[in-house]
């Protein structure tokens, strides 16, 4: 087990020694779990919405990495990141700006999923609450517990940029009349799950002592 400021990697895979490691593991890999959950929901409903979400997520993460790679304003964070405890590299999905990636992805996913609900005034509070809980858990574990985030500025910048990208993608799809490819229909708390079956009519014969005395339509 690693110390708070040491160089030993914390072993999250040892669930038997510390059951809390399961929670830590889920937090560090939250971008993967959240993106896979949202993407797989498209397959459940047999459409391409999940793949569209995944495509835009990859695009915005690539844009973020490109900016952080070439921006001189992030040099301070680059030198700080190089001295991080190896534990903070758990679940590393990008070479540049890894510490704030979790917050960026969660905030982006929150706006991508929840903004259409807000626009349609039909919010699924379970989904809304779970994504907010993921955001709070990431700050609590990776900032307060393991010091994998430098400061509040880094936290707020990643949340705001992730939310901004999510908002821009959603509004762009609305402006192009592509809102049907968003998730509010499937994830809405008031979504219609069951549809009425087509009505069928039956012709019944009425008999008395073997003699047909009439017919009834039902």
pLDDT given at position 193: 42
Write a three-state SS string for 170-184: HHHHHHCCCHHHCCH
pLDDT given at position 194: 43
pLDDT given at position 63: 97
Q: Please report, for the chain, the start and end positions of each structural domain, with discontinuous segments joined by +.
A: 20-213
Q: Is 67 exposed, middle or buried (0-12, 13-18, 19+ CB in 10 A)?
A: middle
Which strand (E) or helix (H) includes residue 163? helix 152-175
**Which residues of the chain carry a pLDDT beneath 70?**
1-9, 73-74, 185-218
Alpha-carbon gap, residue 131 to 31, rounded angstroms: 11
Q: Helix-strand-coil percent breakdown of the chain, rounded to 5?
A: 60, 5, 30
pLDDT in tens, 171-215: 999 999 999 899 875 544 455 444 444 556 656 655 554 455 566
pLDDT given at position 192: 47
């Amino acid at each position: 087990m690693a110390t708070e400021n040491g160089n030993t990697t914390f072993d999250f895979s040892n669930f038997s020694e510390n059951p809390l490691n399961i929670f830590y593991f889920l937090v560090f890999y939250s971008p993967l779990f959240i993106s896979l959950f949202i993407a797989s929901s498209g397959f459940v409903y047999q459409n391409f919405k999940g793949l569209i979400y995944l495509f835009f997520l990859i695009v915005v993460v690539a844009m973020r990495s490109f900016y952080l790679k070439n921006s001189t304003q992030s040099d301070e964070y680059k030198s700080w990141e190089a001295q991080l405890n190896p534990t903070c590299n758990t679940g590393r999905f990008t070479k540049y700006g890894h510490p704030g990636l979790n917050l960026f992805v969660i905030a982006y996913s929150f706006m991508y999923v929840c903004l259409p609900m807000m626009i349609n005034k039909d919010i699924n509070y379970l989904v809304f609450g779970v994504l907010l809980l993921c955001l709070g858990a990431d700050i609590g574990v990776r900032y307060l517990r393991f010091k994998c985030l430098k400061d509040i500025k880094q936290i707020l910048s990643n949340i705001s940029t992730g939310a901004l990208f999510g908002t821009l993608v959603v509004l762009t799809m609305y402006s192009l009349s592509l809102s049907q490819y968003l998730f509010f229909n499937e994830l809405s708390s008031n979504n219609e799950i069951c549809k009425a079956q087509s009505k069928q009519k039956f012709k019944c014969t009425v008999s008395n002592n073997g003699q047909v005395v009439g017919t009834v339509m039902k």
